[in-house]
């Protein structure tokens, strides 16, 4: 059976060109932490998560600093229980990226997100966002559920895919 274009794009991302990806990450490091992107880098992944190339859809690239789970041990005057050196994150990096994108673009709603790479300093994600006020979104029966007021700020309530995964629901 013949394979479609998105199948081959997905296969190319399983073994990406390391040199090209490294050059991109060097450029991304110089940019701000949340940046608007014209079109998704991983088109197959974005389409599988609900992205469509029409008005009302928006893609943002977010960089999250990696590490930071360890802190220096206090020297003195602490209870034994407060001498812990390692902290555990309550949410994963992908959920943090979604929340930062939501904070910057507060009039949009987060639909989903996916990983686009990581280097020694940062982890990079692309977040798919939807504008619920646009008539193109309100008239589309596949996505107009996001216009419902009960779906406001769903990223902060743990209703996105990565947050559900982090909460053990997937």
Q: What is the spatial distance between Cα 169 and Cα 165, in angstroms, rounded to a whole number?
A: 6
Half-sphere exposure of 134 (CA within 13 A, CB side): 16
What the block records as the tokens of 74 is: 């206090």
Backbone angles phi, psi at 157, to 5 degrees: -100, 10
Whole-number pLDDT of residue 61: 97
Structure tokens given for 57: 């859809």
pLDDT for the residue numbered 74: 74
Alpha-carbon distance of 123 to 121, in angstroms, equals 7
Q: Residue 90 contacts by C-beta under 8 Å, 6 or more apart in sequence?
A: none
**Which burial class, exposed, middle or buried, applies to 137 when counting CB atoms under 10 A from its CB (0-12, 13-18, 19+)?**
buried
Per-residue pLDDT tens digits of the chain, which is 170 residues long:
788 999 999 999 899 899 999 999 999 999 999 999 999 999 999 999 999 999 999 999 999 998 867 677 777 777 777 776 777 777 889 999 999 999 999 999 999 999 999 998 999 999 999 999 999 999 999 999 999 999 999 999 999 999 999 888 88
What pLDDT is recorded for position 89?
A: 75
Residue 163, classified by CB atoms within 10 Å of its CB into exposed (0-12), middle (13-18) or buried (19+), is: buried
Residue 162 near residue 92 (C-beta atoms within 8 A): yes
Which residues 6+ apart lie within 8 Å of 75 measured at CB? none
Instruction: Give residue 100's pLDDT.
Output: 95
- pLDDT for residue 111: 94
State the pLDDT at residue 55: 94
Give the contacts of 80 (CB within 8 A, at least 6 positions apart).
none
- The architecture that CATH gives domain 31-163 is 3-Layer(aba) Sandwich (3.40)
pTM for the complete prediction? 0.86
Q: CA 87 from chain center: how many Å?
A: 22
């Amino acid at each position: 059976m013949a394979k479609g274009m998105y199948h081959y794009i997905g296969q190319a991302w399983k073994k990406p060109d390391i040199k090209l990806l490294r050059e991109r990450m060097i450029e991304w490091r110089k940019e701000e932490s949340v940046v608007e992107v014209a079109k998704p880098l991983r088109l197959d992944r974005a389409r599988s998560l609900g992205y469509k190339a029409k008005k009302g859809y928006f893609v943002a690239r977010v960089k999250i600093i990696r590490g930071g789970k360890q802190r220096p041990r206090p020297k003195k005057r602490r209870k034994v229980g407060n001498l812990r050196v390692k902290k555990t994150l309550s949410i994963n990096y992908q959920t943090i990226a979604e929340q930062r994108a939501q904070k910057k673009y507060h009039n949009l709603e987060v639909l989903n997100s996916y990983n686009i790479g990581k280097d020694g300093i940062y982890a990079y994600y692309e977040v798919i966002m939807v504008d619920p006020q646009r008539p193109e979104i309100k008239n589309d029966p596949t996505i107009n559920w996001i216009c419902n007021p009960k779906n406001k700020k769903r990223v902060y309530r743990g209703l996105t895919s990565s947050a559900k995964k982090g909460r053990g629901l997937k």
